[in-house]
Amino acid sequence: MRRLPRALTGQLQQADQELLHFYHKLRVHRDNLPARPRIPRLSLRAAAKRHGLEFYVTYKPYEWGGSEWTGASNGSSSTGARRGLPCVGGWNTWYDQRLLRHPEWRLHHRLPTHYPKLIKKPLARLTLHFLPRPGLQRIASKLRLWSSRDNLTYEPLTQGRLARASVVRYRLTDYFGRLMNRENGLALRVQWDKLDLSADWKFISVDGPKADWAILPCPWIIAQDDRGVILPLSYACAAEHQKKVGFNLGQTDGAFRFDAWGGGIGTVMQHGEPTFTGLPLAIARERNRARPGAPCEAEPGVRRAWHDDVDEILACRPDGLELRLQAHGMSSDDPNALTQNGALDMELKRRGIDPADTVAVMRARADLFLRWATDVKRKTRAARIPLVMPQQCFWANPEPPRLCLQSQPKLWPAWTEWLDQGQEVMLREHFYHSYAPDLCFPVKERAAAQRKPVWLQLFASQAGGHLRAVIVDEVMADPRIDGVVVYEWSVIRDGHDSCKIKSEYRPALARLGLAVR
């Protein structure tokens, strides 16, 4: 693996200090939001060259905002809401102006059949299932329901019985049918009957004594009408609550962000398994029809906007262009998300693809994106700079991918065609315990045959804390990896405005040839 020369260390930190100036300049610009934020790339290039660094631009075509959120349900008291788009329980904010002008360009959820009728039905029974941890059944009857009409003020819900708890034999599965209680097949069931909530109910939260409550909101929460018909819900977990509901308080202010990660798991996958959420949690009777910021590659206007961005980047004379498939505003753990759009529906019909076939939709969308990337390749070739194409490590697997990968826009391309488009390859993966040299072996072999450099993206934040030296050592021992990119460098800084490196990161960076201060 290529190492950075130690003589570059001081230059890198000086450049980092200089680039902080542009970061704050961009923040001020973004707060004003007169138009689409423009990064001062020419100034960045000049700063990089002054310090002997390459100037690569990473472009995220799908990053069109919507990841920020406010719980002002009516939007009247929120300046952010006036710049955003409505969602269940609030407003998604900080958008690219182009998406505000054309919200129809977003990708949508595939909603259940008869959805408009289902959301008008009254709520009669609410059932929650938890992993049966020790001591929970004894205190489960103390769980309480709260209700709200604006997702800002929650008050105790006195209708219905108190919670009825029992340990039952029940299959607790995640979205994909994987059994979560295979050890004993038991679940703690907490149920409220005869709620008799009319069709105008909006938000309900659940809170209780502090304990090890472990739940996956979907499919472990079931809402039914008086005839037992299951109602579609939106979910919010404790991690997406602006202020926790106080147990046994008469009233509390705070707001839940519903469907923050899609349909229900609500938390980022760890080690390939879902992370269970606890209390408080909340449900809403409606579903978000679109992801917050998810431009659809089938829309001609989206592709034109992407080309405009690439032209703007190339005008700044970068040393390379990397396309990155990541967008915080379209994160989703829902297999039904990012599958519908007017232009996409027409394209799927033309190709004879069933919109309910999620994997086929992912492949079709990847093909549309690749067509656009092919045009970008012609532009970078004319500019005589390399195009760096991303590679998700699961793409080379023969089995269909997990459909809950949050950070990428749910594309599953033919990885060989994807690799062939770029002059360099960027592998993207999290490493929780160790780096496996056989990771993406077919990708690295094909890249080597084409004499294309392979870069590996290392996240500064890893499971268990931070990037560790042992992982760097394992990566550097792989002869098929030509270099690494440390992603989210700001996490490494010891303070928001500081360029001093945190002590826990120094061993790993030293392995990369950086004698950091």
Q: pLDDT tens, 13-27?
A: 444 554 544 433 333
- Specify the pTM: 0.85
Whole-angstrom Cα distance, residue 153 to residue 159?
A: 18
Provide the residue count of the chain. Answer: 517
Mean pLDDT of the chain: 79
Q: Is residue 96 a contact partner of residue 293, using CB atoms and an 8 Å limit?
A: yes
Residue 220, pLDDT > 50, answer yes
Whole-angstrom Cα distance, residue 365 to residue 419?
A: 17
Whole-angstrom Cα distance, residue 426 to residue 393?
A: 10
The token duo for 476 is 């550097």
Alpha helix positions (H), 183-299: 217-220
- pLDDT score of 365: 94
Question: What is the layout of strands, in order, in the sheet containing 221-224?
Answer: 164-169, 186-192, 125-130, 221-224
Q: What's the mean pLDDT in 121-148?
A: 91
Percent of the chain whose pLDDT exceeds 90: 29
Whole-angstrom Cα distance, residue 16 to residue 411?
A: 33
445-465 in b/e form (b: 16+ CB < 10 A) is ebbeeeebbbbbbbbbebeee
Residue 298 backbone zone (phi > 0: left; psi -120 to 50: alpha; other: beta) = alpha
Percent of the chain whose pLDDT exceeds 70: 77
**3-state SS class at 59:** strand
The secondary structure of 277-343 as a DSSP string is B-SSEEEESS--SEEEEEE-TT-HHHHHHHHHHHHHHHTT--SEEEE----GGG----TTTT-B-HH
pLDDT confidence of 221, banded at 50, 70, 90?
A: very high
**3-state SS class at 512:** coil
Residue 82, pLDDT > 60, answer no
Whole-angstrom Cα distance, residue 423 to residue 447?
A: 9
Q: Of 378-387, 476-485, 504-513, which range is least confident?
A: 504-513
More confident of the two residues 253 and 60: 60
**Phi, psi (deg, nearest 5) at residue 474:** -65, -40
- pLDDT score of 165: 92
- pLDDT score of 4: 38
Q: What's the mean pLDDT in 43-55?
A: 79
Residue with tokens 């309910």: 356
pLDDT confidence of 289, banded at 50, 70, 90?
A: confident
- pLDDT score of 485: 83
Strand partners, 165: 190
Q: Of 48-57, 90-99, 152-161, 394-403, which range is least confident?
A: 394-403
- pLDDT score of 104: 94
Q: Is residue 106 a contact partner of residue 99, using CB atoms and an 8 Å limit?
A: yes
Whole-angstrom Cα distance, residue 54 to residue 365?
A: 32
Q: How does pLDDT run across 431-445, given as a tens digit for each residue?
A: 656 787 887 889 999
- pLDDT score of 176: 65
Residue 449, pLDDT > 90, answer yes
Residue with tokens 């303070």: 495
Alpha helix positions (H), 135-241: 136-140, 217-220
- pLDDT score of 9: 37
- Beta strands 454-459 and 424-428 are parallel
Q: How does pLDDT run across 338-355, given as a tens digit for each residue?
A: 788 999 999 999 999 999
Q: Is 310 exposed, middle or buried (0-12, 13-18, 19+ CB in 10 A)?
A: buried
Q: What's the mean pLDDT in 257-266?
A: 63
Q: How does pLDDT run across 165-182, given as a tens digit for each residue?
A: 999 999 998 766 778 888
- Beta strands 483-487 and 144-148 are unpaired
Residue 469, pLDDT > 50, answer yes
- pLDDT score of 487: 78
More confident of the two residues 171 and 33: 171
Please tell me the chain's helix, strand, coil percentages from 3-state DSSP, rounded to the nearest 5.
Answer: 30, 25, 45
For 246, other C-beta atoms within 10 Å of its C-beta total 15
